[in-house]
Amino acid sequence: MLSRLLKEHQAKQSERKELQDRRRREAITAATCLTEALVDHLNVGVAQAYVNQRKLDHEVKTLQIQAAQFAKQTGQWISMVENFNQALKVSRIAA
């Protein structure tokens, strides 16, 4: 009788241990899957941010070049207008 109870107790302990081990493995697997999914999600965002940053850098460089060209052209226009005004002043004085 006592030996049967001991065997039943040991069998139940063994079943509980197996169940606990299985649940632990399942929890580790689930945590691993969750971690991988989170990392993948973050990597997509980081990759998109990198692509956007590269586009912005290119646009900034293009804008700087265009702004420099515009400033140069504006300077030329101002010089032409000043020369024209001077020519008008000289022609008024001569007339």
The pLDDT tens digits of the residues spanning 17-72 come to 999 999 999 999 999 999 999 999 989 989 999 999 999 999 999 999 999 999 99
Give Cα separations from 67 to 23, 58, 63, 73, 75 (angstroms).
65, 14, 6, 10, 12
Return the residue matching tokens 């999914």: 37
Please give the structure tokens belonging to residue 33. Answer: 């899957």
Give Cα separations from 14 to 9, 17, 19, 80 (angstroms).
9, 5, 9, 98
Give Cα separations from 55 to 32, 63, 64 (angstroms).
34, 12, 14
pTM, full prediction: 0.55
